[in-house]
Structure 1
Amino acid sequence: MPANEKPEYENPEDFIWNTYLEASKDEDEARPKNWEGSTTGILTFTGLFAATVAAFIVESYTQLSVDSGDQTVQLLSQLLVATANASAGLPVIIATPEPFSTPPTAIVTNALWFSSLLISLICALLSTLVQEWSRAYVQDIKRRKVLHESLMERTFNHIFIRMGVNHYGMDQFVSWIVALVHLAVFLFACGLLVFLFPIDHVVAGIATAILGSFVIIYCVASLLPLLEKSCPYRTPITYLMAFVYWSASQTHLYRLILRSLSKLEVRDKFRDVVARHEIEMGY
């Protein structure tokens, strides 16, 4: 068929359905690619991150229970003291060992690190599920035309699938996985600071300064898109701030404040106009 010749349709309205299907092709290809790209990056990062957290946990979880090595050293010390006292004819006194108590810093550190590890593993699992859903979405969207199916039926099937994806928030679901990854990193960093402070205050202070600088940059990058619409920096905190702002804007107190501010602005503008008029008239 020549390029300038229009295709023939069985029904006149098929032109509308075919136009819709052709127009939606770009978005149908872009959305799964975005899901695949985000989840692939999450899987790579969570794999490396989980291995890092697990290496730290191996060193920290031993603080939650009695160390058998310390018990052995304590028993040998008591045995040497008892032997020396018996040789010197002194009474043998066996000291009662102090009951073991878990340090509070060890509890906090392990709680944060184990939570971070579990969250990162959950993110990896959710990413694999999203990839499976993405492939199923592509298969449903690109279903081949069969003999008994008209263009209208294909269009309705396409709209039905798109409505399901939009209604159940597939794009938002991927964004929540990214937010969970950020939460896992934050928990690990907090646990690292708690772990370092009892060991060395200098190292802990340097780590705190580095983490604090990053938190400030992260918060600024999260806030800028709300102040400047053209700013490309966005984080999960940005959407949370936008939701909080929207929720606050629905309250009656917020509307009263805006109404009062608008009245003050109108009053200030009126005063400026009057003052400018008096200057021009020479009053």
Structure 2
Amino acid sequence: MPMLGLGTYQMDDYDECFESVRTALRMGYRHVDTAEGYDNESAVGDAIDEYGADREDIFLATKVSPDNLDYDHVLTSAADSFERLGVDFVDLLYVHWPMGEYEARDTLEAFAELREEGLVGEIGVSNFTVELLEEAVEVAEEPIFANQVEMHPLLPQTELRQFCAQDDVDVELVAYSPIARGDVEDVDELQEVAEKHDATPQQVSLAWLREKEVTAIPKATSEDHLRENWLSLGVELDDEDVEKIDSIEERERIVDPDDAPWNR
């Protein structure tokens, strides 16, 4: 899984999404993240097809919505996503939120069947707390590959990172909203590190996630922002930089619905 991908949340305009994905692929991105609930799988799939790369060269991830998480609905939802994307398989299929029809054993049994049939490369979950992830790892018939959560220097997810790093868990973290929707720009510590590296605070945030061995999927629609994020791969932080960023005391969660699992 490439450690920098393109997120497509809130890209429900077909033309905008198509152009963003196509531009990203031309720039070098090889990881694209979408979801059934984003209403843009067709645009994502069409952009990948138009670009013309071998399917195996693109790491493609999508997600099953909470209302489709019982066993039969997972299988139907996945088939519908494949049709909209125009593909025979996806590299990573997520449980989007542990809500609605989600029941760990029943839901993950369907995900395991898809993986055993070769339709899904890896199984993922999203927005899972430590407790929910622990349950999923325990009951899943196939390994949980990744947990996609909001993560950035203002929400470092320390407890979750420590749990995922355990040998008997070994789950990758994927960060959505990795630049806190631009709010990292106003953080003094990130500004200082950015100035040192002739970079932007957004690029420093993405580099910091990479130092934490976390994959980032920032959303971007303009070519300038796509390039800014892509060039973050050239920002190499030293231990002093990481310590300074780790010392940030401000905390901010961007995505925080009332019924989110951490609010229960």
Q: What TM-score do you get using the length of structure 1 for normalisation?
A: 0.23
Provide TM-score, normalisation by structure 2: 0.24
Structure with the higher helix share, 1 or 2: 1
Greater RCO structure (CA 8 Å; 6+ sep): 1
* Structure with greater strand percent: 2
